[in-house]
């Protein structure tokens, strides 16, 4: 039974989805079996790939769409929202 969840989040921290925030984000995605696709302005990246995410160049104020496909999509969504929250409030910098 495969789920398909789409979330939209705004990135609020100063350096955006780069450096350690991007590393923590991709490491979080790697914990799940689901396929995780991050989209920005028509471009897309594998959420588990730090280099792919860097390529998207997500900066402060950007809105991204995250599509999660797979049987553990629900827990993946929760973990991703948690890590985005930590990035946005500066806990991960």
Partner 1 sequence: MLQLKGTVISPGISLGKAFILKEDNKASERTKYTIEDFYSAKNVVKNFISTLMSSLEVQGAVRDILDVQLSILDDPELESQIKKLLDNGVELINAIHTAFDYYVNALANTSEYLRERVIDIRGVEDLLIRALRNNLVISISMSNEDIILIAKELDPIRTIMIITMQNIKGVILEQGGVTSHTAILLRSKGIPAIFNVRGIFDTVKNNDYIILDAYRNIIYVNPDNKIISKYSNIINVINNINEEILKEIVREGLDINYPIRIMANVNNIADLELALHYNANGIGLLRTEFLFFNRSYPPSEDEQFNVYRQYFSRFEPKTIIIRLLDIGGEKIPPYLRIPNERNPQLGLRGVRLLLRNARDILISQIRAIVRAAREVKNSIVILIPMVSFVNEVLEVKKILNDVINDVIGDNGSLITRIKLGAMVETPSAVLQSDVLAEHVDLLSIGTNDLTQYILAVDRESNTVNDMYSQFSPAVLRAIDIVVKNAKKVKKDIEIDVCGELASEPLAVPLLIGLEVDAISVEPPNLPIIYYVLKRLNINEARELSYKALNLSNSDEVIELMKSFFINKNIKVPQVVGEFV
Q: Which is nearer to partner 1, 15 or 81 (CB)?
A: 15
- Please choose, from the candidates 51, 54, 44, 46, the residue with its C-alpha nearest in 3D space to the C-alpha of residue 18: 54
The window from 2-10, 17-25, 68-76, 81-89 that contacts partner 1 (CB under 8 A) reads 17-25
Residue 79 touching partner 1 (CB under 8 A)? no
> Please, which residues have CB within 8 angstroms of residue 6's CB and are 6 or more apart in sequence?
65, 66, 67, 68
- Please choose, from the candidates 46, 22, 24, the residue with its C-alpha nearest in 3D space to the C-alpha of residue 34: 46
Q: Give the other-Cβ count within 10 Å of 47's Cβ.
A: 26
Pick from 12, 54, 69, 81: which binds partner 1 (CB under 8 A)?
A: 54
Q: Which is nearer to partner 1, 26 or 77 (CB)?
A: 26
Residue 55 touching partner 1 (CB under 8 A)? yes
Pick from 44, 46, 79, 88: which binds partner 1 (CB under 8 A)?
A: 46
């Amino acid at each position: 039974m495969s789920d398909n969840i789409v979330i939209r989040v705004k990135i609020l921290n100063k350096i955006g989805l780069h450096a350690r925030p991007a590393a923590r984000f991709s490491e979080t995605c790697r914990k799940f079996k689901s396929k995780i696709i991050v989209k920005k302005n028509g471009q897309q990246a594998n959420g588990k790939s730090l280099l792919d995410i860097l390529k998207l160049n997500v900066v402060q104020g950007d809105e991204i769409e995250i599509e999660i496909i797979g049987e553990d999509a629900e827990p993946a969504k929760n973990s991703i929202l948690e890590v985005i929250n930590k990035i946005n409030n500066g806990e991960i910098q």
